[in-house]
Amino acid sequence: MPELSPLAPSLPPTELMQLATGFWSFKTYAGAIEIGLFDLLADGRALTVEEVSAELEIAHRPADLLLAGCASLGLLDKSGARYRNSMLAEEFLVEGRPYYFGGFVRYLDSREYPAWQHIVEALRTNRPTTWTPGTQDSLFDTEDPETLQLFWDCMFSVSVLTARTLAGIYDFTRHTRLLDVGGGAGAFPIELCRRFDHLSATVFELPHVCDLARTKVTEALLNGRVNTVAGDFNRDPVLPGGYDVIILSMILHDWDEESGRALLRKCRATLPANGAVLICELLLNDERTGPPAAALMGMNMLVETEGGKNYSAAEYSRWLLDAGFARVEVLPVEAVGANGVVVGHVS
């Protein structure tokens, strides 16, 4: 047998190829949403390449390639010559479904994907690339209606699915009034109040975001149980009182440690003796080597924020104890927006 060249690689670079071409999957997925493929195939419709080509008004070749690409990603099923939505696509990628995930994908495609093309700039300058510090206080400070709607639709998509999972692992029967700090368009209060009839909730948000939350609450027919309070959790000296559970979902990773600790002190100050704060996040392990979802979300904080990063459960636990919480527990969870919930108990 011929000897291997000393320059031959010992391992095939298959994983490197997968990393290098990861954007192919995302852009196929995002393109299918934007062009309306999953809406076209909603409710069990099964179409041929020719029919999809005609209804989407695209040529046969791109229709054929798009359908094959989406089928390869598990987004479509094929029977004979006809394609239909997979169960995953039918539940989450048809616009108007209760747990529609397309808002998140659209936000990534239009806002974050271009910003990530400047990742080296972010690494070298330690500044975000989705907005310009000095002209805005933060990425949340915008009055542009299109950007605002896109961002909060994105966050609602992620948060409502995370809230649904949280409802199954945390006992909300011990609480009666929930405060969602930085709660966006109200996904957590809406989902949790649907699941727990005894619960009432408040979204604490910036004034222009409260307008969006009220619209979502009205659509959910929960006006009597979910309301909004306008404010700024960073600038206001205290949080609204009268609540026995506070949720911080994908909030603390937007800010530096000093800001996060300050917010937890405000939570502790307003909670009663039986109260608790729930930190729902993609948590890093203690060694800061993963998991990838948390570590790469941290990289996304470099692109999106001035001081944000993803933290570990151990770090949040220290912050909570230092803020005066009596004990801490960590609940593992498998959700799109969190892999763990760090619970700080007042007593």
3-state secondary structure of 19: helix
How high is the pLDDT of residue 208? 87
The percentage of the chain sitting over the pLDDT mark of 90, rounded to a whole number, equals 84
Q: From CA 341, how far away is CA 339, in angstroms rounded?
A: 7
Between the CA atoms of 25, 30, 147 and 282, what dihedral angle is there, to the nearest 10 degrees? -40
| Mean pLDDT computed over every residue of the chain | 93
CATH number attached to the domain at 14-91:
1.10.10.10
The pLDDT of 171-189, averaged and rounded, is: 96
How high is the pLDDT of residue 143? 57
Q: From CA 346, how far away is CA 307, in angstroms rounded?
A: 28
Predicted confidence band of residue 138 (pLDDT cuts 50, 70, 90): low
What pTM does this model have?
0.91
Residues 253-267 pLDDT 10s: 999 999 999 999 999
Residue 332: cis peptide before it, omega within 30 degrees of 0: no
H-only helix segments in 282-329: 292-304, 313-322
The pLDDT of 292-313, averaged and rounded, is: 97
- Note if 253 is an active site residue: yes
Q: What is the DSSP track for 125-185?
A: H---SSS-BTTBSSTT----HHHHHHHHHHHHHHHHHHHHHHTTTS-GGG-SEEEEET-TT
**Tokens describing residue 97:** 């479904």
The pLDDT of 39-68, averaged and rounded, is: 98
Q: From CA 67, how far away is CA 82, in angstroms rounded?
A: 10
Q: Name residues whose C-beta falls within 8 Å of residue 237's C-beta, 6 or more positions apart in sequence.
A: 266
Predicted confidence band of residue 140 (pLDDT cuts 50, 70, 90): low
Boundaries of every domain in the chain: 14-91, 158-288+304-345
How distant, in Å, are the alpha carbons of 16, 65, 316, 319 from that of 103?
Answer: 30, 24, 29, 33
- Are 41 and 85 in contact by the 8 Å Cβ rule? The answer is yes
In terms of phi and psi (left: phi > 0; alpha: psi -120 to 50; beta: otherwise), the region of 189 is alpha
3-state secondary structure of 73: coil
Q: Which CATH number fits domain 158-288+304-345: 1.10.630.10, 3.40.50.1970, 3.40.50.150, 3.40.50.1370?
A: 3.40.50.150
Predicted confidence band of residue 4 (pLDDT cuts 50, 70, 90): low
Residue type, 277: V
- Are 37 and 56 in contact by the 8 Å Cβ rule? The answer is yes
Q: Of 60, 198, 208, 253, which one is the catalytic site residue?
A: 253
